[in-house]
Each structure stands twice: as structure tokens, then as C-alpha cells.
Amino acid sequence: MEAIETVELEHANLAQHQSSIVQQMRNFWMENHLCDVVLKGNDGVEHCAHTALLSAASVVFRNLLGGSFLEANQVQRKQPVEIPASKASVSALLDYIYGGQPKIDLETGLELLHLAEAYDLPKLARAIEAGLLLSLDGVKALRVLQEAHGLHGLKATCEEKVAESFETCSQHPDFGKISAIQLARILKREDLKVSREEVVFKGIFNWFSFSKERHGLLGMLLQHVDFESFSADNLLRVGRFTLSGPAAEELHRNVDEALQRQRKRAQSTPNSLDFQPKRRCLKHWSPGLGASAAACWRKVLPIQCHSLSWHRGHIYATDFEGNVLCWHPGDPATSVRKVVGGGVGTTGTNDMGSSCDVSVSPSGEIFVLDFEKDRLVRFQDGCGHLVCGDLSTPRCLSCSPSGVLYWVVEEHNEGRSQVWKLVGSTLQTVIASESLPEDLQFRATAIFVTKDEVIYIFDCLFQQRRILRINPSESLKPIVVGQIPLYTGGGVAGVLRNLWNLFVTEDDTIYVSDHDAGKVFAVRPGDTTCSQTFQCPDSLFPVALLVQDRSLYVGVVDDYDAPDVVGVYEHLPPPELQLE
């Protein structure tokens, strides 16, 4: 008998045939036709399916439903097989196995990840991962990080998303649920996006506050904080935080080391901004104010001013034409009004020189020290009154918060100074430099008086650049509270500093401007060294200085004698670091 030759029966379109089979099985499932197994979720809802298809999709299902397990007996006895998941998750699981493309929310997706891992469905896990990545943000990433076991790519993306919105994420309740290792991985990223390094520190303490058992992890996490990027004030605040145990020692050590490095840099290279913050986003840095993501200064008005003063929510300024201007911070340039000068309608003395200093008393009296005409003039109720004329080289002016007016005149004795004050209508000499020991004699180019009638002066007599403090209620002996390097560039080969303008805040931080170098320096309480606070932009020079409501206002020009480019800049200080 002749053997029959065998032939292979080929499908005209195998993929279409397979797809049609899957589609038919999907139709059977949706119609509950020939289903032989029931899956029951943890909420009691039952879902019918086909044992054969579930077994084909997953080895775990094949062993579970067709082996010697309890579930196989349940199938044979037509009893439901329990699945530890919600109705939405079980429905989505079956929909996917039967060739569908279910739409799921975040919670369902995370639950499905557990099912995909439990039932060995790697393609489902990858599909969930791809779906989550499309809509992932920082807050969702916090939730996913808690569930994405084994999915290293998804976890890496989640860490990136948290880093992108760290400030928002660190305030969310789910932030406290990520592990210490996950937090450390996020903190050490160079692309961690924050407005200031203090945000990183505060985020650690937010995470730390979720559980007292985390106390031992604090020291490890603090290693990822770039303390030298803090502002000097915030470093001092952190140093006063009350902690206990090894974490406290580690924190205070980091703070002390950062402060020492800041001070060393200020002393050795005061003009250098060579410090590179750890975070790439922190592009703006100054020794006193630390690092930030945004520039700390902004131009608020395109006007010229020789001096600045504050009174009841308004800034007063003298320009270079003998006028006194006034405006409210935040108002546009069109709102600036002239209160002294030509066209104001002031009676009496009103012909001020182009170079003047201004100070306003608590009662609203405007005092103007006219350098060109050697006189002091008071303006009140639309009238200018001569207070004192024929002054001996007037230098600077300051009205205390209690209403006592102080000013400096220069003696015809090697440039030494006297400090005078006006109490009511009485002129009094407070202190004369020539009456002091030689090492404490001074030539004052700037003066500031506090609410306690404590006098600060900037002394540039001979080869000195220092800040003196005089408290007349205790002694007229000056105390050196600040030292400014004599030369720019850190050595005698540099340029001799030309410093003027002085302002002292309520917390005793002293600001002084370096005209020729285009910088503003700060001297903080308990430290006589200076740190750079403000660098004038575009080769401009500071000529006026005011600190109010934690903002530093600096009047700048491009040329003091013939200014073409002028403006008032506001330098925004860093927020005060506070921990709950």
C-alpha cells in the first residue's frame, strides 16, 4: 500500500486566527458562557472566568486551579476561589487576560501590581508601569514608591518625580510613608529641585516627625544636607534647635563646620563667589544669604537716590537734584511723589543742594543734611526751617525711633569727627573723636542710631575700615563690632575700600555698602567679620541703603558724579527656618 504524503495545513492569517480565538473567548467571558471558575474578591463580588484561559495566561493559575491545592478542589466543587483584591482590580485583571485594555486609577493600578507579582504576570506589570508613567507626578510617585516592589525602573522614575517637586511632596502625608533608604536616594540626587537648601533640611524633619522610632536615622539623613548652602541666620537658628542623643551632636557639628567655612571664606577671599552649592538648581549664592534657586534681588524702581529712609510704610529718598521723593514699596514708578524740592510748593528754605542725606522722625518731620551748603534743614507741614547752618563738613544723618536726631560733622583736625544730636530745639555734642584714646578715634562716613539710642558709626580714619558701637547710657567709649578688609582683593595690592551707608536691624545685624566694589556686606551679632550679602548687577555701585520688613533696599548708580543708569533694588532675604 502506497504511503500517503503528509502536508502542513497553513493558516492564511495565523495572527488573525489567534486574535479571533481570543476575541471569541472574550465574548464567552462577557456572556458568562462556559465559565467554569468563579473568582471572589475581598469585597465579596464574584467574577466568572475560564480555567483553561487563566491557566494559559499564568503558571501560578495553572498550578493553583489544576493542581493539588485547595483552590483546585473548590473549582471542582463549583465553589468560588478567593482573590485578595477589590472588585475593580479583579475586573481589570480578567479584562487584561481576556485581551482587553482596562482603564484604571492609581489605587487600582497599585493593587494590580500586587496581583501581577503574585500570579506571575510580568507583561501585566510592565503595562501597569507604562500606564502609571504617563500620568505620574510627585504626589502619585510617593504612593507608588510604597508598592512598586521589584520594578526598579518605575521606582527610579518615581524618585525623579519626587525630586522634581520635593517642596510639595515633603508636605504630603504620603511623604512620611516612604522608607529611609528611598528618602536618602532622593536627597542625594543633584537634580533635587528646591528653592533653598533649607527646604531639604525641613523635609527630613517632616519625615522624621511621622514616627519616634526614626530617631536613629536622623544622623544618616543629615549627611545629605548641604549646610553651607544655608543662610548664616538660618544656620544660627538650626544651632539652637533642641535635640537629644547622637543626632543632636551630629546636627550641631554640621552647623558649626558650615559656619566656620563661611567665616573662613569671608575672611580669606571676601570678593570670591567660588562656592558651588550641591544642588544644580541653586545658582544664586552669597555668603550671608546662602544659596537659592532664584535671584535674591529685583529692580523695583528706575529712580536715582543718594540716601534712603523709612516712615510709616513709605520709603523716602534724596535724589541728585535736591529733591526728596516718597513711595510705598510695591507701587509702580508712576506713584513716586516729590515731597521736598522744586514744584512742591514748600515755603521757607527749599533750595537744597544736589548731594543730601535724609532721615524722617516718628512724627513725620523730614530732616535733610545738605552737604553742599553745610546745613541741616527740617521740613514739616509744607515749610522748610533751617535747623543749623555753617556746619563743619557734614557727613551723615540718622534719626532714632524715639525722635532724637543725630548727625556727624568733620573736625578740622586730620579728618576726625564729632557726633551731634538735636533734642527738641537743643543742639548737643554727643562725642568728639579727638577726646578719645588714639586707637579709638574715628572719622565717621555713616551713622545709625537704634531705638535704645545706641550709636553705630562707620570709621575710615587712616588705614581703618571698622564699625564702632557707642552706648551713651553705659559709656562713651566706642567698641569695635565689625571689621571690613581694608583692600579689595584680599591684600595691599588691591584697591582701598570706599565704604559708606550703614544700617542696623533689630536683631543687630549690620549692613554696610562698598561703593567701589559694588557690594553690600553684613556683620552679624557675635561675629566681627563681614560676609557679602549683595552684588550690584551690571557694574553698578551702591549709594543708598535701607532694611525694612526683612527686605534690603539698595539705591545704585553707574557713575556717582554723572549717573546715567540708576535704580532701586530690593534684595529679598531667605525665609526664616522654622520646624514644628
| Domain regions of the chain by residue span | 18-184, 194-292, 305-514
Q: Terminus-to-terminus CA distance in the chain, angstroms?
A: 97
What is the Cα–Cα distance from 552 to 535, expressed in whole angstroms? 12
**Residue 295 pLDDT more than 80?**
no
Phi, psi (deg, nearest 5) at residue 9: -90, 105
Rounded alpha-carbon distances, angstroms, from residue 434 to 99, 332, 443, 464, 467: 97, 47, 10, 16, 18
**Residue 274 pLDDT more than 60?**
yes
**Residue 361 pLDDT more than 60?**
yes
Confidence of residue 270 (pLDDT cuts 50, 70, 90): very low
Exposed (0-12), middle (13-18) or buried (19+): which is 27, by Cβ within 10 Å? Answer: exposed
Confidence of residue 272 (pLDDT cuts 50, 70, 90): very low
Note the pLDDT of residue 308: 95
What is the Cα–Cα distance from 406 to 425, expressed in whole angstroms? 13
State which H helix or E strand residue 408 sits in: strand 405-410
Tens-place pLDDT, residues 37-80: 999 999 999 999 999 999 999 998 888 888 766 666 777 778 88
Nearest to 319 by CA among 298, 340, 300: 340
Grid coordinates of 570: 530690593
CATH level 3 topology of 305-514: Neuraminidase (2.120.10)
Confidence of residue 531 (pLDDT cuts 50, 70, 90): confident
The 3-state DSSP class for residue 15 equals helix
Asked whether the whole model's pTM tops 0.85, one would answer no
Greater model confidence, 288 or 17: 17
Rounded alpha-carbon distances, angstroms, from residue 38 to 72, 121, 169: 12, 19, 41
% of the chain exceeding 70 in pLDDT: 94
Note the pLDDT of residue 13: 87
CB proximity list for 448: less than 8 A, separation 6 or greater: 398, 455, 456, 457, 502, 503, 504
Phi, psi (deg, nearest 5) at residue 383: -135, 140
Q: Annotate 438-484 with three-state secondary structure.
A: HHHCCCEEEEEECCCCCEEEEECCCCCCEEEEEECCCEEEEEEEEEC
Tens-place pLDDT, residues 467-476: 999 999 999 9
Note the pLDDT of residue 267: 58
* Arithmetic mean of pLDDT, 195-215: 91
**Residue 413 pLDDT more than 70?**
no
Tens-place pLDDT, residues 365-407: 999 999 999 999 999 998 999 999 888 889 999 999 999 999 9
* Arithmetic mean of pLDDT, 185-201: 94
Amino acid symbol at 510: I
Residues 214/221, Cβ–Cβ less than 8 Å:
no
Homologous superfamily, domain 18-184: Potassium Channel Kv1.1; Chain A (3.30.710.10)
Confidence of residue 128 (pLDDT cuts 50, 70, 90): confident
Residues 410/463, Cβ–Cβ less than 8 Å:
no
Note the pLDDT of residue 495: 66
**Residue 415 pLDDT more than 80?**
no
Pick from 134-138, 211-215, 273-277, 413-417 the range whose average pLDDT is largest.
134-138
* In the block, residue with C-alpha cell 549692613: 511
Tens-place pLDDT, residues 441-462: 999 999 999 999 999 999 988 7
**Residue 271 pLDDT more than 50?**
no
Beta 290-292 vs 499-504: how paired, if at all? unpaired
Average pLDDT over the chain reads 87
Tens-place pLDDT, residues 2-33: 666 888 888 888 888 888 888 999 999 999 99
305-514 and 18-184 share a CATH fold: no
Note the pLDDT of residue 294: 83
Tens-place pLDDT, residues 551-567: 999 999 988 777 888 89
